[in-house]
Amino acid sequence: MLFYEEAAISVPIMCMQCEDPACMHVCPVGAISRDKNGAVVSNPKKCIVCKLCVSACPLGNISVSKVSKKIIKCDLCGGDPCCAKVCPSGAIKYEDATTANISKKKIIGEKFKNLFAEVEK
């Protein structure tokens, strides 16, 4: 979650399971792949915790657990996202990607990009 206190907004920044995932491309040991649900997932058995994927994600959607010392990344909960189930206002929905909703995401992304540019001025 990013907080922009000056603008009084908070925006959840979730993994986009990118079509061309920077996190996957930079991994030197092939520990990141796409699963059958379309999720970009990490394999802790292969991961050497070099953190290149953490730096590569343009949205800051990978972090390292202070407890397990392993990377943390959305894996769509195996195709049954817990975040969508527990969201009290129904703000999170899990829907199959269509051309229409990908276009909507891009439009919303552009709006936020422009809004953040205004906040940072």
Binding site for ligand SF4 (CB under 6 A): 14-18, 21-23, 26-27, 29, 31-32, 40, 42, 47-53, 57, 59, 61-62, 71, 73-77, 81-83
Which of residues 59 and 115 has its CB atom nearest to ligand SF4 in the complex? Answer: 59
Tokens of 45: 């058995």
Dihedrals phi, psi of 84, to nearest 5 degrees? -70, -35
- Cβ contact 43:31 at 8 Å: yes
In three-state secondary structure terms, 45 is coil
CB of 72 to ligand SF4, least distance (A): 8
- Cβ contact 35:58 at 8 Å: no
Query: What kind and span of H or E run contains 33?
Result: strand 32-34
Which of residues 11 and 59 has its CB atom nearest to ligand SF4 in the complex? Answer: 59
Which of residues 7 and 30 has its CB atom nearest to ligand SF4 in the complex? Answer: 30
CB of 78 to ligand SF4, least distance (A): 8
Which residue matches tokens 């990978």?
62
CB of 56 to ligand SF4, least distance (A): 6
